[in-house]
Chain A
Amino acid sequence: DAGVIQSPRHEVTEMGQEVTLRCKPISGHNSLFWYRQTMMRGLELLIYFNNNVPIDDSGMPEDRFSAKMPNASFSTLKIQPSEPRDSAVYFCASTPPGGDTGELFFGEGSRLTVL
């Protein structure tokens, strides 16, 4: 079975540009999480969705960040405008129904570099 699929794997952009990261969760999973990983701050939960509805976005750093989940098989994380401090690896993870167990299935991440 396919795991969580993220794209792009690598993105290099210039400050001020819009960045869109994409995630396809594992089929049948109904919770989706976006994390950011940096050396300084480690892993930070940005937002999570349950049944396509955003449940907690308190980790979204500021209004430049937005996330959507238009259907059960697709989510986007958008940064506009991007800044150099947004450089990080962004991970998407999903869990199945009844998956309030702490077991997350991660994608391979999208490495973002903002120049």
Chain B
Amino acid sequence: GDSVTQMEGPVTLSEEAFLTINCTYTATGYPSLFWYVQYPGEGLQLLLKATKADDKGSNKGFEATYRKETTSFHLEKGSVQVSDSAVYFCAPYSGAGSYQLTFGKGTKLSVIP
């Protein structure tokens, strides 16, 4: 089955710092790749996605590029804000009727003013 490895947190950054959260995966075939975000006290919500190699997903200033050759989907943001403090989950999805996302363990990000 699919699996994912995320960099361990917590990650603490000052406001306006550059963010990278590493994610590598193993999956059957050519999965779609997702980043979900969980703000304190809330459920997960989709942040961005990419469905094929070399695609770049982007949303709210975050970006991630589907790298098939390195099986990676690293999340980046050029200038983080306090409001970005949350837990971030990487998730490959092989589909094919499985209906099952494989979530990483999550990386907690804290941004301090």
Instruction: Scan A84-115; emit 1 where CB is below 8 A from any B CB, else 0.
Output: 00000001010100001111101111000000
Q: How many residues of A are counted as interface, with CB atoms below 8 angstroms from the partner's CB atoms?
A: 22
Interface of A is mostly: strand
Contact assessment for A107 and B43 in the assembled complex, using a CB-CB cutoff below 8 Å: yes
Q: B7 at the A/B interface (Cβ < 8 Å)?
A: no
Contact assessment for B43 and A31 in the assembled complex, using a CB-CB cutoff below 8 Å: no
- Taking A4-B43, A45-B100, A91-B44 as contacts, is the C-beta distance between A102 and B105 under 8 angstroms? no
Closest 10 CB pairs of A and B: A102-B93, A106-B43, A42-B105, A43-B103, A106-B44, A108-B43, A102-B32, A107-B43, A109-B43, A100-B95
Q: B34 at the A/B interface (Cβ < 8 Å)?
A: yes
Contact assessment for A104 and B41 in the assembled complex, using a CB-CB cutoff below 8 Å: no
Counted as pairs of residues, one from A and one from B, with CB atoms less than 8 Å apart, the total is: 55
Q: B29 at the A/B interface (Cβ < 8 Å)?
A: no
Interface of B is mostly: loop
Q: How far is the CB of A59 from chain B (nearest CB, A)?
A: 9
Q: A34 at the A/B interface (Cβ < 8 Å)?
A: no
- Taking A102-B49, A109-B43 as contacts, is the C-beta distance between A50 and B99 under 8 angstroms? yes
> Which residues of A, 1-37, contact B by the 8 Å Cβ criterion?
4, 31, 33
Neighbouring B residues of A109 by C-beta, 8 Å:
42-43
